[in-house]
Amino acid sequence: MTTRKTALVTGANKGIGLETARRLAAIGFKVWLGARDAGRGEAAAQALRDEGLDVEWLELDVASDDSVAVATRDLTARVSALDALVNNAGVALGYVDALDADGRYERPPSRENIADVKAIYDVNVFGPVRVTQAFLPLLLASLPSRIVMVSSYLGSLARASGNSQSPNVMGYGSSKTALNAVTLAFARELAPHGIMVNAAAPGYTATDLNAHRGGRTVQQAAEIIVRLATLEPGGPTGGYFDENGALPW
């Protein structure tokens, strides 16, 4: 068992998750890099170890009850507590295929594939619920601890209703709206126990999720995630933030 500060980042073999793992390890965390694919997960962890960082791969498919259960047993055998959980894993099935030559999304909700929407929810909504419930005993063993739900500007109902230029991405956007509600639900339950639970909007970042069409770097995107994962005791909980402050739900 270890008493060093520890963090688990899901979906961390690339993109924003990988940069978040790097940043947390760089400030002294022992980071568990959650990824479902052994080859990609171990390669990502090794790349960070080559930078002198303390990072290990943890096999974790957030859409699988069995995988989450096994990952929980594996991590519990190695650490006594978890200081930060970053629910980063996410998908946007069908999004790239619906982009025009200028990168504009042009698939209306009436044409979104229901099977894709279900799969999106399984990862983006039920995944964080599965993972948070499973690892909660480790988080409770290291108070105050922090949970970060990686949301999106597209999850804001206020922004969507007040901005006709906002992409109308029903499946992905509504999954992040649901994740915001999940954030509030866990925050209400866990606040009395000293766990801070917040949602982060990293912005439209150049990643595989959008065929690297985003205008922000992963370094910029990770800023708010790392900030929320390292809040001082008594910090905010039940909030929705980007690096500039609170966002409207």
User: Mean pLDDT throughout 156-184?
Assistant: 91
Give pLDDT, residue 164.
64
104 within some domain: yes
The one catalytic residue among 105, 172, 204, 240: 172
152 within some domain: yes
93 within some domain: yes
Specify the pTM: 0.95
1 within some domain: no
Sign of CA dihedral 224, 229, 234, 236: positive
Number of domains in the chain: 1
Establish whether 172 is a catalytic residue.
Answer: yes
Q: How far is CA 105 from CA 24, 95, 110, 236, in A?
A: 33, 7, 14, 34
Range of the domain at 232: 6-246
201 within some domain: yes
Give pLDDT, residue 208.
83
Q: What is the pLDDT of residues 25-56, one digit of tens each?
A: 999 999 999 999 999 999 999 999 999 999 99
- The Cα–Cα gap between 161 and 152 comes to 15
CATH of the domain at 88: 3.40.50.720
Q: What is the pLDDT of residues 119-139, one digit of tens each?
A: 999 999 999 999 999 999 999
Please report which confidence band the pLDDT of residue 95 belongs to, taking 50, 70 and 90 as the band edges: confident
60 within some domain: yes
